[in-house]
Amino acid sequence: MTLDHRPFQEADAEMISTFPNSAEELFHMSPDASYPLVSGRLLAAAREGHDPTVGLADGRIAGYVNFVEVLEKKFCAIGNLVVHSEYRRKGVAAYLVKVMVQTAMESYAVRFVQASCFSHNKAAYALFHKIGFRPADMGQRLGLDGDPILLIHMHLSIRRWAESQAMGNDRSGFRTVNRA
């Protein structure tokens, strides 16, 4: 499977809005959205965020991600990450996160990249940890059932990331993305 990416286009919204298969999956992607996700809500998130990006697997739309917050020369926060169920556990999410880390370095000269995941979302936590993100802070939110749940904020130091890339110690299994 060949992975690639490109900027999000408005025409992508209808398809990507079908990727969350349940209210819980949508909650992990965008906690404030209502299930089922409608394309208009995704378009609004893309407009409010930064660098909305579509992941492609063999030329087909397989995932979506953006930055929900950017503070140039400080940090970028990855958000709204979602992958079509057919492509889950096949490297698409890791590829998209790595693309966003590269974008944060090249476009915003940040010191770290942040990603947040709920404590019960073990797949997301494992993904970010494998790439090199480490827990930095925690907060609490209300879950779908109204009970409090833990939100873990993870950081990836750009300095450490760049050093690991230069030394060939990329634990995610993907080469650095070159954006020419």
> Tens digit of pLDDT for each residue in 86-134?
999 999 999 999 999 999 999 999 999 999 999 999 999 999 999 999 9
Q: What is the C-alpha separation between 98 and 152, in angstroms, rounded?
A: 19
Token digits of residue 129: 């940890």
Cα–Cα distance between 165 and 120 in angstroms, integer? 30
Q: Is 77:128 a contact under the CB 8 Å cutoff?
A: no
Whole-number Å distance between alpha carbons of 69 and 175 = 25
SS3 129: helix
pLDDT in the model for residue 157: 97
| Residue tagged 């947040």 (tokens) | 116
pLDDT at 176: 40
Two structure tokens written together for 86: 């057919």
99 membership: H or E segment, kind and range:
helix 92-108
Query: Would you mind telling me the total number of residues written for the chain in this entry?
Result: 180
What does pLDDT average to over the chain?
93
How many CB atoms neighbour CB 148 within 10 A? Answer: 9
Residue 138 has pLDDT above 90, yes or no: yes
Q: Under DSSP, is residue 75 helix (H, G, I), strand (E, B) or coil?
A: strand
Question: What's the confidence (pLDDT) of residue 130?
Answer: 94
Model confidence over 12-42: pLDDT tens digits?
Answer: 999 999 999 999 999 999 999 999 999 999 9
Residues 6+ apart with CB under 8 A from 62: 3, 55, 56, 83, 84, 86, 87, 92
CA angle 23, 82, 61 (to 5 degrees): 125
pLDDT at 170: 60
Q: Which of helix, strand or coil describes residue 136?
A: strand
Residue 169 pLDDT grade (very low, low, confident, very high; cuts 50, 70, 90): low
Q: Which fold has domain 3-166?
A: Aminopeptidase (3.40.630)
DSSP state of 109: -
